[in-house]
Amino acid sequence: MFELEVEDHFSAAHSLRDYKGKCEKLHGHNWLVRLTLGGDALNGQGMLMDFHDARALLSRAIAEWDHANLNELEQFEVLNPTTENIAGIVCERIAAELPPAIAVRAVTVWETPGSCARYSPS
């Protein structure tokens, strides 16, 4: 099994619904997102996927969130804009664009340097 990882980031505001504490108020983060892809075989160039292409997939998946209030976006009208839900959405978006021989192994999202959530599809 081969794996590769790329990272990107976005800055956005959000507030957590049905939460009692500081995070129920509108606040922002500089999120760091790591995408881990995996597959059994390498292409003719000896790569699972070109890093440039993997990074482009990740950038497209998070582009609309940069400098946005996540609560105002359609995907978060009902879904709480938690770090866990962000990771799941990124995974779904990227998985839909991958060739069959490559799969998302995990998406890890840090909302602060010491706090992250990871989504790994089953």
Burial of 13 (0-12, 13-18, 19+ CB in 10 A): middle
> Does an H or E element contain 95, and which?
helix 83-95
Annotated catalytic residue: which of 23, 24, 27, 72?
Answer: 23
Q: Is 23 a catalytic site residue?
A: yes
Q: Is 116 a catalytic site residue?
A: no
Q: Is 77 a catalytic site residue?
A: no
Q: The sheet that has 115-119: what strands, in order across it? A: 2-14, 27-39, 103-112, 115-119
Annotated catalytic residue: which of 24, 27, 67, 97?
Answer: 67
List the catalytic residues. 23, 67, 111
